Amino acid sequence: MTIPEINNQTYTFHPGELLPELEGHISRGRFERVLRNGDFAVTAELAPPDSTDRNEVFEQAALFDGFVDAINATDGSGANCHMSSVVVCALLSYIGYSPIMQISCRDKNRIAIQGDLLGAGALSICNVLALTGDDVSAGDHPEAKRVFDLDSISLITLIKKIRDEGSFLSGRKITNPPQMFVGTSINPFVPPVESRILQLEKKINAGANFIQTQYCFDMPMLKDFMSKTVDKGLTEKAFFLPGVGTLASSRTARWIKNNVPGVHIPDSIFKRLEGAEDQKKEGQKICTELMQEVKEIEGVSGVHIMAYKQEECVAQMVKESGVLGNRKPWSPKDEY
């Protein structure tokens, strides 16, 4: 752990600096460069704390140092309250990390979102992930009002408009529009499965530059989905980072399958977990193997790791999987 270094202010606070503009690049962030360079990228999800202590953000981020290219900050994931994704990204950006700011349409209307995008740009946040978001009924405030003024595709359209046309939706001009690298998610496993590829095409036509998927535990299904994606030529228009995750036990897996909408876990995974002596270890082993399998799929540009409450294992899993080869992602430890 490197937290004492943070507390001793080895990492001085300064606004993350944008990289120089590059031909053919949308943003001035590191994440896009890794992808355009053709390197296999690794992204990981950070769970924003239920606290005002910024060190909790830094502690979690430090767990990924040297193994992750970009860090996703979730926006009220599962419709539960946590520190806001804008602020988590701002903190990360100040250190120099490459954050991906998730925006959920559940809680903010188009006025709030456009304001956040400008703020994010001012804080050198270069990547956003446009999401519809879980419904309020999934979280700890089911009595809250749903917003859903936009949906994920409208949100992509909005971000693209701000960026490329340099104006708000109203048409009012923006000086220095945010140069955002826009991502979105797709769940290849929900019915009707045939329509998923069309939905993906729609998202890419709207302007998505990269795609991070929902948890993929069913590799044959993912491979089938990816081969259709390649056939449609979609992998030439956007970068694909399938999502993988850790399951702490077969009980957790069962709970996720029954309670988290849209997560598809095949029986083979349950069998492996149930047959293992140490289920937590087995869950990590599965995740490591999934990463290796994902890397071999045609059209894939990287992997997205969602290791909720097991963030400390991410570095080890990436290391064991060998997906990075000899490459070492940027780490603040090299910088300071």
Partner 1 sequence: MYRARLFASKHARAYEVIYNATSPVILSTLRVINKITKGRLDRPITWSEKIIKGFLFDCQMCGNCVLSSTGMACPMNCPKTLRNGPCGGVRENGNCEVKPEMKCVWVEAWSGSSKMKNNLAIQEIQFAVNHTHKGSSAWIRLAKENKQIT
| Chain residues that interact with partner 1, rule: CB under 8 A | 105-106, 110, 132, 134-135, 137-138, 146, 148-154, 157, 185-187, 190-192, 194-195, 198-199, 201-202, 205-206, 214, 261-262, 264
Give the nearer residue to partner 1 in terms of CB position, either 39 or 151.
151
Quote the least distance from Cβ 125 to partner 1, whole Å: 23
Quote the least distance from Cβ 102 to partner 1, whole Å: 13
Give the nearer residue to partner 1 in terms of CB position, either 83 or 128.
128
CA distances from 181 to 111, 145, 231, 251 (A): 20, 30, 24, 38
Quote the least distance from Cβ 68 to partner 1, whole Å: 23
Give the nearer residue to partner 1 in terms of CB position, either 105 or 323.
105
Quote the least distance from Cβ 202 to partner 1, whole Å: 6
Quote the least distance from Cβ 190 to partner 1, whole Å: 4
Rounded to the nearest 10 degrees, the angle between the axes of helix 152-165 and helix 110-122 is: 50
- What are the DSSP calls for 171-190, one per residue? --B-SS----EEEEEE-TTS
Reading the block at residue 322, the tokens are 């060998």
Quote the least distance from Cβ 210 to partner 1, whole Å: 16
Give the nearer residue to partner 1 in terms of CB position, either 93 or 157.
157
Greatest alpha-carbon span in the chain: 61
Torsion angle in degrees (nearest 10) through CA of 72, 305, 70, 61? 70
CA distances from 260 to 78, 147, 215, 264 (A): 8, 21, 11, 9
Give the nearer residue to partner 1 in terms of CB position, either 60 or 104.
104
* Cβ contacts of 131 within 8 Å, gap of 6 or more: 75, 102, 103, 104, 105, 152, 155, 184, 185
Quote the least distance from Cβ 155 to partner 1, whole Å: 9
Give the nearer residue to partner 1 in terms of CB position, either 154 or 310.
154
Q: Give the torsion sign (CA, 97, 120, 35, 310).
A: positive
Distance CA(330)–CA(336), nearest Å, equals 12
> CB neighbours (10 Å) of residue 285?
16
Give the nearer residue to partner 1 in terms of CB position, either 43 or 184.
184
Give the nearer residue to partner 1 in terms of CB position, either 2 or 132.
132
**Size of the chain, expressed as the number of residues it contains:** 336
Residues facing 99 on adjacent strands:
71
Element (H, E) at 100: strand 99-104
Quote the least distance from Cβ 325 to partner 1, whole Å: 31
